[in-house]
Amino acid sequence: MSARRMPGRSRRKALLALALGSLLLLVLLPLLWLLFSPKPDLYRHYPQSSAYFAANGDLLSLRLAADQRYRLRVPLDDIAPALQQATLLYEDRRFYQHYGLDVRAVGRAFWHSVLQGGRRQGASTLSMQLARLRFQLDSRSLGGKLRQLGYALYLERHFSKDELLEAYFNYAPYGGNIEGVAAASLIYFGKEAHRLTVAEALALSVIPQNPNQRSPHTMAGQQQLELARQRLVALWLAEPGAAESASAERLRLPLRFYHRSDLPYQAPHFINQLQAQGQSEGRFYTSLHPQWQQQLEQGVDSYLRRHADQGFHNASVLLVQRSTMQVQVWLGSADFYNEAIFGQVDGVSARRSPGSALKPFVYALALQQGLIHPQSLLTDLPRRYGHFNPENFDRQFVGPISATEALINSRNVPAVQLQAGLKQPDFYQWLQQAGVGLPQPAEHYGLALVLGGMELSMQQLVQLYGMLGNQGRWQPLRWQAEVQASPTAAPQLLTPEAAFLTLDMLRQHAKPQHGLLHELLEGAPVAWKTGTSYAFRDAWSVALSGDYLLAVWLGNFDGRGNPNLVGRSAAGPLLFELLAKLPRQPAQEQRLFNPAASLNLKQVALCSRSGELPNRYCPHSQPGWFIPGVSPIKVSDVHRAVPIDIATGLRACRHQPPATELKVFEFWPSDIAFAYQMSGLMLTAPPPYQQACSGQPALSQQAPQIRSPQPALTYQLGNRAEQQQIALQASFDGAVSKAHWFLDNRYLGSVTPGETLFWQGEAGEFQLRVVDDLGGVASQRLRVQ
């Protein structure tokens, strides 16, 4: 009998051993997996929202992540301690004592929920909740619970408790599409997680346990949330030291929750630009100044309302801190939401014609290359450059004019003349070096480049003007907060001396005279320039004052012209109205407009009439800057003493006192004398000689200067006869009466000073020469195709 029972017992023992072995294997396999599995990436699938903050820490905008959820990662150190403590108190008191499974909590839940039939209690640890959220587990079944526990142990194996707690806060659900405490804090309370009060921390701590029923965005959710919060307040107050953090009365007060619709949406063009640059996931702390942004937006709105009858409907503004080039105000249009003005177009980044706003940089290069100094005398007269005949905005010519006056009065002809003389680099090359990408070759733009015959953005224009206030160093715009510029790494595209002199010239530009506006800015030194594009499509104004660099644009994004869109009368007043809204910076103003001791600059007395060093006969002088070793400065010979016979009043051949006396007359170069004549200013000429003065040398002599044709140009012959003519013009000493033109060995004709000789051009390369009757000679190569 016993023999027959033995096989049955053996089978039961074998089955029991097999069951125990399988159970042991089920335990050992996960343990081995946990022991040898690689460390997981906690944030492998964690697309973040974009959160943009102003320089003062205020939220500018919070934008959805790629999966249409609000989610931001935050380090544990940037989460309010009260929120950490309240979450552990409410969710997992023994988080730092267990290893992913809290046996006590499981036993307690079983006792209350099953044995005593009480309210159901959960026993999931924060590690288990993190495992469910990170690995997207369904934990409603027994198998799902076991998987959740396994992954919790897996996480505990590879990460510290602080790392796990941090990850929980970054994954925890807070209602709807809001995930993570960072996004929840910004949306519900309008602040970052480290700034939460104790009452706010308690409220957020109870949401993840039941995020759908405790969402503050519904009335029912607020009621459920408030009940859970009050239970947690009671637990909190029972903790040692709780009274020190906040009183019971304050903790029980109702809280105000914001909604998604309350999220700020400031400076949308600026934020769109950052996103276009790839700054589109995570936190971004910008240099934007929200108070100034709001003030300038209001200033633009007020200005456009007051000038609506002039057709002003849209404007753009960019304010940067000049020393660091950090963006402080970025206004892409007058109204982002106004479709009538195409408000979502960003006028700060859009490319437009700058008009005369580029002229200061031609002058800066001319100063740098030794073509002029600030008081050099230029001529505003009709000139021809091949088939290009530049005109001034007012279609008038003022004749002789100093470089400073020509710049601040925005005369076109002198600017074109200076651009034509630039070399190494010329203006086209220099703009390319400064990051202004010009899509066409230099020949396409020609000498119209300085008049705005191209397009660039307000960003690029401000970067160019930044060089004038930063000793010639080009710096990119910066949008980060608390990022210092690196002047040593910035390319030196202008010499410090040329940059300062150009800035000083622009400082002499008279401000708009508009009552209160004039009074507000009377004491503030401002260097500024305006620009008007072709067909009155764009009105510009740019200013440097203190540590401010401000640019404004008025116009229409559809390209419509408006005769009222003139830089000086339209954009200029708006520029100064906006400047008046910014606080004065006296120390920075002094630093900006006073040359550093290290600059190679000297100030000397210059003859007021000629802009050159005064000779003994110059009646008046004024102080002027020049760059030693660079600026074209010489002793003036315009004022010359002429012997006059006392008896006849005629000019004598030599001075023989007491029969003669010396009188001072002005002997201007022929082109300048002609310019004075055209402007209606008649110069007093010396009387004729009383007799022929044979063998007498000229009192003074300047070599002729060929003004046309230009040596750097290759002249193209047109189809029509007038297009085949090339104008021959030269400037002569004031004592010259006649000059002769030669082409190689061919005689072309004679002219009197101020007269133009036209040559019927032919293809080839020639030596052009002009000789005056005092023996002065000038020559140059001429190329004709």
pLDDT tens column, 214-250: 999 999 999 999 999 999 999 999 888 776 667 788 8
pLDDT surpasses 60 at 521? no
Q: Which two tokens stand for residue 458?
A: 């307000």
Burial of 137 (0-12, 13-18, 19+ CB in 10 A): middle
Mean per-residue pLDDT, 381-396: 80
pLDDT score at 695? 57
pLDDT surpasses 60 at 723? yes
- The 10 Å Cβ neighbour count of residue 606 is 25
HSE on the CB side for 139, CA within 13 Å? Answer: 21
pLDDT score at 514? 58
Mean per-residue pLDDT, 710-732: 78
pLDDT tens column, 668-705: 888 788 778 777 777 888 898 887 776 555 544 678 88
Percent above pLDDT 70 for the chain: 89
- Round to whole Å and give the CA distance between 593 and 503: 8
pLDDT surpasses 60 at 211? yes
Q: How far is CA 638 from CA 3, 573, 734, in A?
A: 143, 40, 8
pLDDT surpasses 70 at 498? yes
pLDDT surpasses 60 at 516? no
pLDDT score at 1? 43
pLDDT score at 110? 45
Taking the mean position of all CA atoms in its chain, how far away is CA 332?
Answer: 12
pLDDT score at 2? 46
pLDDT score at 484? 58
Tell which residue, 365, 464, 363, has the closest CA to residue 415: 363
> Hey, what's the torsion of the CAs at 315, 316, 321, 325, to 10 degrees?
-150
Per DSSP, the three-state class of 527 is strand
pLDDT score at 123? 66
- Round to whole Å and give the CA distance between 202 and 176: 19
The answer to whether the beta carbons of residues 748 and 759 sit under 8 Å apart is yes
Tell which residue, 190, 180, 186, 177, has the closest CA to residue 87: 180
Q: Which two tokens stand for residue 535?
A: 């067909």
Mean per-residue pLDDT, 547-552: 98
pLDDT score at 522? 64
Higher local confidence (pLDDT), 97 or 673: 97
pLDDT bin (cut points 50, 70, 90) of residue 488 is: low
| Packing angle, helices 142-158 and 2-36, rounded to 10 | 50
The values of phi and psi at residue 352, to 5°, are -140, 165
Mean per-residue pLDDT, 425-448: 94
Position 518: which residue type? Answer: H
pLDDT surpasses 90 at 714? no
Tell which residue, 569, 572, 485, has the closest CA to residue 526: 572
Position 584: which residue type? Answer: R
Mean pLDDT of the chain: 88
pLDDT surpasses 50 at 418? yes
- Identify the weakest region by mean pLDDT among 44-48, 366-370, 503-507, 519-523: 519-523
Burial of 510 (0-12, 13-18, 19+ CB in 10 A): exposed
pLDDT score at 670? 80
- Name the one residue in this structure whose structure tokens are 């997981």: 40
- Identify the weakest region by mean pLDDT among 103-107, 142-146, 187-191, 698-702: 698-702
Mean per-residue pLDDT, 416-445: 94
pLDDT tens column, 630-671: 998 887 888 888 899 999 999 998 888 999 999 999 888 887
> Hey, what's the torsion of the CAs at 400, 402, 404, 406, to 10 degrees?
10
Q: Kindly report whether the global pTM for this prediction surpasses the value 0.85.
A: no
Mean per-residue pLDDT, 362-388: 90
> Hey, what's the torsion of the CAs at 226, 230, 233, 234, to 10 degrees?
-170
- Identify the weakest region by mean pLDDT among 223-237, 375-389, 721-735: 721-735
pLDDT bin (cut points 50, 70, 90) of residue 534 is: very high
Most confident of 15-19, 435-439, 687-691, 725-729: 435-439
pLDDT score at 29? 65
pLDDT score at 25? 62
- The 10 Å Cβ neighbour count of residue 158 is 14
pLDDT bin (cut points 50, 70, 90) of residue 285 is: very high
- Round to whole Å and give the CA distance between 119 and 140: 18
pLDDT score at 351? 96
User: Where in 286-410 does DSSP place strands (E)?
Assistant: 315-321, 326-331, 351-352, 377-380, 399-402
Per DSSP, the three-state class of 456 is strand
- Identify the weakest region by mean pLDDT among 110-124, 163-177, 554-568: 110-124
Higher local confidence (pLDDT), 109 or 337: 337
Mean per-residue pLDDT, 464-483: 93
Higher local confidence (pLDDT), 143 or 288: 288
Per DSSP, the three-state class of 541 is strand
pLDDT surpasses 50 at 115? no
The values of phi and psi at residue 591, to 5°, are -65, -35
Position 279: which residue type? Answer: Q
pLDDT score at 614? 87
The answer to whether the beta carbons of residues 330 and 270 sit under 8 Å apart is yes
pLDDT tens column, 324-367: 999 999 999 999 999 999 999 999 999 999 999 999 999 999 99
Percent above pLDDT 90 for the chain: 61
pLDDT surpasses 60 at 96? yes
pLDDT surpasses 50 at 35? yes
> Per DSSP, what are the bridge partners of residue 750?
740
pLDDT surpasses 60 at 4? no
> Hey, what's the torsion of the CAs at 104, 105, 110, 115, to 10 degrees?
70
The answer to whether the beta carbons of residues 288 and 328 sit under 8 Å apart is yes
The answer to whether the beta carbons of residues 624 and 611 sit under 8 Å apart is yes
> Hey, what's the torsion of the CAs at 610, 616, 618, 624, to 10 degrees?
50
Higher local confidence (pLDDT), 431 or 141: 431
Domains and CATH numbers, the chain: 50-262 (1.10.3810.10), 287-354+455-597 (3.40.710.10), 356-454 (3.40.710.10), 602-678 (no CATH), 705-784 (2.60.40.10)
